[in-house]
Structure 1
């Protein structure tokens, strides 16, 4: 009689399920959109954060040829709001890179990184390319986070940046990108810095490492009954 202790149940993770779905598609790859926020280290050099992301994209494109990332990086004085559009493989490498910041402590360039949402299998890109822009003026137009739930705050933030993406799609940007005048073009569509800092501290949003762990966890959790049956040894006759 076969040893029942050797029997095991193959568990499917959310990541493997999405990859399997992608293999059945006729497209070269599925497109996803990632939104995340972070605080910036107080002592940093000008252009350090932009240089980091440009270097990251260069490294990723070496392994994912033909799968460029698009989106926009909004640089505030002490925080960022980042929207990225890319394949699952590219976003996975970006999330892995973001997770390394959690091990660097106070010296990390990005701190209190929080994933707001990832939209899967979006029909088309909202941004034609990836660009970064500084938001230098204080933003006073916004909403009071004290009287809203985190879900409501995130929903309003996503609404603003999606409207901004639609507006940017109508502009003809040069090879240098957007420039640093977005706050003068559409100040009403920019998220207040206070709201971004609030989202960086909220417990409802996941860190990059927590987000990746969710993808690796089985979709079918182990039941209590599975810990006692089958028995670890043969039953006595």
Structure 2
């Protein structure tokens, strides 16, 4: 009996408490969850949506603007294979609203293109570009293609909301209009259609933000310009912990 008891004690030492407390079910993290979600949805990258506003030179031709961005997208696509750009470009007489959907790397290259033109050229046809919002990891695209449309609106507006509303109210109305416009186009534009035409101001006038709103947002200092965004994007993060701070500073002898 004593021999049996001795063996039982030895076998008990072979299973330490740490082993018994280890989780029996494998655990993942949030990154693995996102990767698995993207794999199930057959996505190669996380999808993002970016809203841009900018001033443009007067009397810019729609064909010239469309060709410029078509060439830019094709150039970026060579290095970001499969990361197609969809969205909507509304061209006003002296400003534009640009909604873009693609990967993070592709959107960064689009901002970098504007940043390089502003840095290297004295006059570029796009001026005072501002990033209104970037929505990360959106579930699906609202636009099947990248569309360009000219907004033909009167120059004079009887109701200038920028004088009677705060910036928060103006931007809230802006988001409501643009999202309703995106949903309207998602439901009405047929798959395979290559263009919207220039009649949005007739078919959906209540969903188009007035040009005065676009120019107002371009002047707002609260929104980030591409140069600030690119510099912040490329700047490495150095976080100094309190435990790393020593006083007085160490000196060598």
Structure 1 length as normaliser, TM-score? 0.80
The unaligned stretches of length 5 or more in structure 1 are 1-19
**Aligned pair partner of 2:178 in 161, 181, 197:** 161
Is the contact made by 1:71 and 1:129 (CA closer than 8 Å) also made in structure 2?
yes
Q: Give the corresponding residue for 2:7.
A: none
1:182 paired with 2:200, answer yes
Q: Report the Cα distance in structure 2 between the residues aligned to 1:148 and 1:219, rounded to whole angstroms.
A: 38
The alpha-carbon distance between structure 1 residues 43 and 186, as it changes in their structure 2 partners (threshold 3 A), is: closer
The alpha-carbon distance between structure 1 residues 55 and 24, as it changes in their structure 2 partners (threshold 3 A), is: same
The alpha-carbon distance between structure 1 residues 195 and 49, as it changes in their structure 2 partners (threshold 3 A), is: same
**Aligned pair partner of 1:152 in 143, 147, 169:** 169
1:89 paired with 2:99, answer no
Q: Report the Cα distance in structure 2 between the residues aligned to 1:142 and 1:90, rounded to whole angstroms.
A: 38
Structural mapping, 1:69-108, within 5 Å: 69-104=85-120, 107-108=123-124
Larger radius of gyration: 2
Q: What per-residue deviation string (whole Å, max 9, x for no partner) do you get for residues 162-221 of structure 1?
A: 101111111234543111111111000000101111111111111101122333445665
1:135 paired with 2:145, answer no
Q: Give the corresponding residue for 1:49.
A: 65
Is the contact made by 1:142 and 1:191 (CA closer than 8 Å) also made in structure 2?
no
Q: Report the Cα distance in structure 2 between the residues aligned to 1:127 and 1:22, rounded to whole angstroms.
A: 28
Q: What per-residue deviation string (whole Å, max 9, x for no partner) do you get for residues 115-168 of structure 1?
A: 001000111111111110000122748761123232322221111111011111
Cα RMSD over matched residues?
A: 2.9
Greater RCO between the two (CA within 8 Å, min separation 6)? 1
The alpha-carbon distance between structure 1 residues 73 and 59, as it changes in their structure 2 partners (threshold 3 A), is: same
The alpha-carbon distance between structure 1 residues 22 and 165, as it changes in their structure 2 partners (threshold 3 A), is: farther
The alpha-carbon distance between structure 1 residues 22 and 164, as it changes in their structure 2 partners (threshold 3 A), is: farther
Is the contact made by 1:39 and 1:113 (CA closer than 8 Å) also made in structure 2?
yes
Number of aligned residues:
216
Structural mapping, 1:187-198, within 5 Å: 187-198=205-216
The unaligned stretches of length 5 or more in structure 2 are 1-29, 39-43
Q: Report the Cα distance in structure 2 between the residues aligned to 1:67 and 1:178, rounded to whole angstroms.
A: 23
Question: CA offset at residue 42 of structure 1?
Answer: 3.3
Is the contact made by 1:70 and 1:130 (CA closer than 8 Å) also made in structure 2?
yes
Q: Report the Cα distance in structure 2 between the residues aligned to 1:42 and 1:78, rounded to whole angstroms.
A: 5
Question: CA offset at residue 104 of structure 1?
Answer: 5.0
Q: Give the corresponding residue for 1:12.
A: none
The alpha-carbon distance between structure 1 residues 141 and 164, as it changes in their structure 2 partners (threshold 3 A), is: farther
